[in-house]
Structure 1
Amino acid sequence: MHCLADVCIVPIGTGKASVSDEVTMITKYLRETKGDLTVTLHSAGTTIEGEWNAVMKKIGELHQLLHDNGVVRIQSDIRVGTRTDKVQKAADKVRVVEEKLNR
């Protein structure tokens, strides 16, 4: 089953307000290991598109990556969407709204 997962991974207890180091680590990892997944960084998280099991596995890998790099606690917000009538990419959803705005 194809899905779009909007993921916001929040490292807790790092001793600093900024999470840009952790976001950079996650983004670099995703870009290097995405395989068949489509990954889009945005200001409040990352959208990961692909088959359900592959997306969920990748989210688990991101947790493990941060744990392996000293983050003791992680809280993630994940919103996942699926459709049975068609495969829709995140860019398609944005394009439809932009087209409607331009009418």
Structure 2
Amino acid sequence: MHELGVVFHIIDDLKVVAEENKIEKIDKVTVELGEVSTVIPHFLSDCWKWAAIKHPLLKDTELFIETIPAITYCEECKKEYGTINHGRICPFCGSERTYLQQGNEFLIKEIEVTK
């Protein structure tokens, strides 16, 4: 389960942001997670609950996950389509000359603190 490693990475980044901004407590963290990022949202949430309580900065911090839809672009017909429903082959022209445009991201979008 690599979600635990992802959580440790998030925590490390949050500690840096907190130190740079003299933050003692983070209330909420929102991450953007691509549909095909290989990170499973409920595993990520479970790992977060386990790991966050071990750090005073994050003890009661809520983790919110926003999904970024996977979109593929066809170089042949110049159209976009949903990757999950159609995979790599373009549903419009049948071309395999496609690439993932979005949906593989994993980003910290927002950090919310109360002063």
TM-score range normalised by the length of the shorter chain:
0.3 to 0.5
The answer to which structure, 1 or 2, has the higher relative contact order (CA under 8 A, 6+ apart) is 1
Structure number with greater Rg is: 2
Question: Which structure carries more helix by proportion?
Answer: 1
TM-score, L = length of structure 2: 0.32
